[in-house]
Amino acid sequence: MAKTAKAKAPTDVADLTKAQAKVEHKRLALEIENHNKLYYQEDAPRISDAEYDALRQRFDAIEARFPEFVTSESPSQKVGAAPSGRFKKVRHALPMLSLDNAFAEQDVLEFAGRIRRFLKLGDDDKIDFSAEPKIDGLSMSLRYEGGELVTAATRGNGAEGEDVTANIRTLEDVPNKLKGRNVPEICEVRGEVYMTKHAFLALNERQKAAGDTIFANPRNSAAGSLRQKDPSITASRPLGFFAYAWGEMSAMPEATQSGMIGWFQRCGFKTNPLTRLCHSLEQLVAFHRKIEEQRAELDYDIDGVVYKVDRIDWQERLGFVSRTPRWAIAHKFPAERAMTVLRDIEIQVGRTGSFTPVGKLEPVGVGGVIVQNVTLHNEDYIKGIGGDGEQLRDGRDIRIGDAVVVQRAGDVIPQVVDVILDKRPKNTKPFQFPKKCPCPLHTDVVREETATGEEGARARCTGEFACPYQKVEHLKLFASRRAFDIDGLGEKQIEFFFEQGWVKEPADIFTLEARNNKIKLEEIEGYGQTSVRNLFDAIRRRREIALERFIFALGMRHVGETTALALARGSGSWKSFHDGALKVAKGDEDAIAEMDALDQIGDTVIKGVAAYFGESHNRGVVERLTKEVTILDAEKPKSNSAVAGKTVVFTGALEQMTRDEAKATAERLGAKASGSVSKKTDYVVAGPGAGSKLAEAKKHGVPVLSEDDWLKLIGE
């Protein structure tokens, strides 16, 4: 059974226009702030940690690409959420900041590399790290004066928390007076309040019997227990506390992170017994793997491992960036997995004819959500011989009826990561990938070729625009926000109009109003005179379109938003692009060389343009469409900037902007951002780790600028 894809993956941040990014930035900020309030104030999160991390990653990526969006009110500049107002507010002497996240071992390597560069350490200089499980609880700051507990405050928004001193005094793990001699006059001990798993289950049983609130997880129950107005209720709840950090200290009793952990123990605090001192990156990674293996056996929830530079003087030198310390990072675990049954395999046909097998599951909860569908990537993956995604263990294949292990991490589409062979039903058969498209044409299905000419993993229908699945997906792209952005013409409307035969190609959208005397759209259920008038008004507003949007809307293979922008800027006008594309389709070597010279354009894109304009059917679609719309010339870059007309190459790891941001800025100022260095290159902007391109610059005598030099040159 074939179905067209209904859920679209979000546009890559690198492909967002500034206007799109601004809208999404605002939406994500509101969404994140709402989830912060639910998590920190109300102890009632509605999404999993992995989903929240995915929101933050996308939000941070947008701000990295568009730093001008960052304000003091941005979630990236805040920690947690403002105090709820149910308790007296407490101002932290030193902010309680959150940690940056690592999701892969490569992220940890980059974290260590940044520390080494910042401290100007050589390859032989050793960096010790304190590593500890990341407790999923409620952050707490305990202030002692003269050794006596005077205030206990939640993290709140990082600068200001809630006074829960009376409740904290009921916890056995928190001493009211610090033990030992030579305790600093002012001492802030920080750590995590948590509830064990068995205590959580017992509490929920009591809550259920009493008809009270049932908590979703141990973290919620710990936070809810601590925020009781009546301390006796808190005292009746089994809460624990692990000490692992500090705030204001009138004197430091130890010189290292690991030394401070030992000092906390001597003062009467519990610390996590799994905390270890690691002397290399290999030990960090091994510790992370070991803790992940033990995760299910622990009686408290953890969601990763925290690494901290052990030397406190180095911590102080490294300092902080935005809301996070440079000297610490949280290495998160992958989302937890679940086992269920694969009931069916369906094939979805995408806009470019690509086949995507989708597994239909017996619904199962994974990472806080119910999963019913999973991607099976491609034919090779189903057969157990690799392909996209994680390799299935032992090369086992996937069959309908199998018991499978499903994983969902962040905003990644859920996938099958293992098959339980000893639970496989008898008489199951290997899945037969279709050799014909399920569309009425039943056209052949072929495997794509890779850049080296070998058979690729992706299968495609050869019907192109004659295939109805591809036609309707092209129309959806055409009307989408990234292309013509026609309000009121969403995916459902496109499917309906296509099924009715009213819109078969893009030009039909613009003749719809003229044909409505026969269609009588206002008489269709779900429509009315007002909605029909609004739709036609929206279509009329899109009769004038930017060149890059028009090129993207054509749906050529391998031509995304970024590529469409490069083609538009390189061509200047629709006539110039159209004439060049026709020549490319005919194999004109000069036209191919001219297109190849454009930044971000290579053989793959050129083949996509040639294939599109080499089809007479496509040329007819374009010809009929251009009679209905006016295509604006591309925005011209500035000609009076310090770098106008210059060729610039960016290399190495830029630290104040992404490579895409740097290129976009250069092009906006009239420069050409090239990917290779030659005698014609005017500037090479080199960041840390610059390699062969830096050597080429020196070879050709090309001026080399630092990132700061570049920003000074362009006046930013």
Handedness of CA 222, 226, 230, 233 (dihedral sign): positive
Q: Are 326 and 320 in contact (CB under 8 A)?
A: yes
Does pLDDT of 390 surpass 80? no
Domain assignment of residue 667, yes or no: yes
Mean pLDDT of the chain: 83
- Residue 503 tokens, joined: 């819109």
- Output the domain CATH number for residue 40: 1.10.287.610
From 278-282, 305-309, 362-366, 520-524, the region with the lowest mean pLDDT: 362-366
Residues 562 and 504 in one domain: no
Residues 134 and 171 in one domain: yes
Domain assignment of residue 642, yes or no: no
Residues 574-589 pLDDT 10s: 999 999 999 999 999 9
252 three-state secondary structure:
coil
Q: Where in 196-313 does DSSP place strands (E)? A: 239-249, 276-278, 302-309
Residues 573 and 668 in one domain: no
- Output the domain CATH number for residue 313: 3.30.470.30
Identity of the amino acid at 645: G
Residues 289-300 pLDDT 10s: 999 878 767 888
State the Cα–Cα distance between residues 164 and 228, nearest whole angstrom: 9
Name the band, by pLDDT with cuts 50, 70 and 90, for residue 200: confident
Q: What does the pLDDT read at residue 412?
A: 52
Does pLDDT of 419 surpass 50? yes
312: DSSP letter:
H
Domain assignment of residue 350, yes or no: no
Residues 616 and 665 in one domain: no
Mean per-residue pLDDT for 527-531? 88
Q: Are 455 and 433 in contact (CB under 8 A)?
A: no
Mean per-residue pLDDT for 220-240? 78
State the Cα–Cα distance between residues 574 and 580, nearest whole angstrom: 10
Range of the domain at 494: 464-542
| Residue bearing tokens 């060729």 | 647
Residues 623 and 663 in one domain: no
Q: Are 143 and 149 in contact (CB under 8 A)?
A: yes
Q: What does the pLDDT read at residue 46?
A: 64
- Residue 199 tokens, joined: 């205590």
**How many domains is the chain partitioned into structurally?**
5
39: DSSP letter:
I
Residues 102-157 pLDDT 10s: 988 999 999 999 999 999 998 889 999 999 999 988 899 999 999 999 999 998 87
Name the band, by pLDDT with cuts 50, 70 and 90, for residue 347: confident
Mean per-residue pLDDT for 27-35? 82
Domain assignment of residue 352, yes or no: no
Residues 632-647 pLDDT 10s: 998 766 667 888 888 8
Does pLDDT of 241 surpass 70? yes
Residues 40 and 120 in one domain: no
Domain assignment of residue 349, yes or no: no
Residues 66 and 125 in one domain: no
Q: How far is CA 316 from CA 171, 243, 251, 585, 654, in A?
A: 32, 20, 14, 61, 24
Residues 154 and 298 in one domain: yes
Does pLDDT of 606 surpass 80? yes
- Structural domain ending residue among the three candidates 495, 523, 542: 542
Q: What does the pLDDT read at residue 309?
A: 97
Question: What is the Cβ-side half-sphere exposure of residue 350, based on CA atoms within 13 angstroms?
Answer: 16
State the Cα–Cα distance between residues 129 and 311, nearest whole angstrom: 8
Domain assignment of residue 372, yes or no: no
- Residue 73 tokens, joined: 């009110």
Q: What does the pLDDT read at residue 362?
A: 86
Q: Are 53 and 101 in contact (CB under 8 A)?
A: yes
394: DSSP letter:
G
- Residue 178 tokens, joined: 């610090």
Domain assignment of residue 26, yes or no: yes
Does pLDDT of 410 surpass 70? no
Percentage of the chain modeled with pLDDT above 90 = 34
- Residue 532 tokens, joined: 């029909």
Residues 481 and 571 in one domain: no
- Residue 417 tokens, joined: 């990561």
Mean per-residue pLDDT for 362-382? 76
What angle, rounded to 10 degrees, do the helices at 561-571 and 603-613 form?
Answer: 80
Name the band, by pLDDT with cuts 50, 70 and 90, for residue 536: very high
Q: Where in 420-526 does DSSP place strands (E)? A: 445-449, 455-461
Residues 108 and 204 in one domain: yes
State the Cα–Cα distance between residues 285 and 264, nearest whole angstrom: 26
Mean per-residue pLDDT for 664-688? 83
Name the band, by pLDDT with cuts 50, 70 and 90, for residue 15: confident
- Residue 583 tokens, joined: 């020549």
Handedness of CA 313, 314, 320, 326 (dihedral sign): negative
Mean per-residue pLDDT for 209-219? 69
Q: What does the pLDDT read at residue 38?
A: 67
Q: What does the pLDDT read at residue 299?
A: 83
Nearest Cα residue to 552 out of 482, 471, 473: 482
Identity of the amino acid at 578: H
The neighbouring-strand residues paired with 632 are 546
Q: Is 494 left (phi over 0), alpha (psi -120 to 50) or beta?
A: alpha
The helix or strand, by DSSP H or E, that contains position 85, with its residue range, turns out to be none
- Residue 179 tokens, joined: 């033990």
In 10 A of CB 543, how many CB atoms? 11
Q: Are 244 and 191 in contact (CB under 8 A)?
A: yes
State the Cα–Cα distance between residues 69 and 71, nearest whole angstrom: 6
Helix spans in 407-490 (H): 468-479
Domain assignment of residue 606, yes or no: yes
518 three-state secondary structure:
helix
- Output the domain CATH number for residue 498: 1.10.150.20
Does pLDDT of 310 surpass 70? yes
Question: What is the Cβ-side half-sphere exposure of residue 279, based on CA atoms within 13 angstroms?
Answer: 1
> Nearest-5° angle of CA 633, CA 639, CA 644?
115
Just list the catalytic residues.
134
- Residue 494 tokens, joined: 């496109």
| Residue bearing tokens 């309040």 | 193
Mean per-residue pLDDT for 78-89? 56
- Phi, psi (deg, nearest 5) at residue 253: -75, -20
- Structural domain ending residue among the three candidates 301, 332, 363: 332
- Structural domain ending residue among the three candidates 600, 632, 664: 632
**Residues contacting 258, CB < 8 A, separation 6+:** 128, 130, 275, 277, 310
- Output the domain CATH number for residue 674: 3.40.50.10190
Q: What does the pLDDT read at residue 448?
A: 66
**Residues contacting 452, CB < 8 A, separation 6+:** none
The neighbouring-strand residues paired with 631 are 545
Indicate the pTM of the whole model. 0.45
Residues 294 and 218 in one domain: yes
Residues 276 and 211 in one domain: yes
State the Cα–Cα distance between residues 447 and 462, nearest whole angstrom: 10
State the Cα–Cα distance between residues 398 and 419, nearest whole angstrom: 7
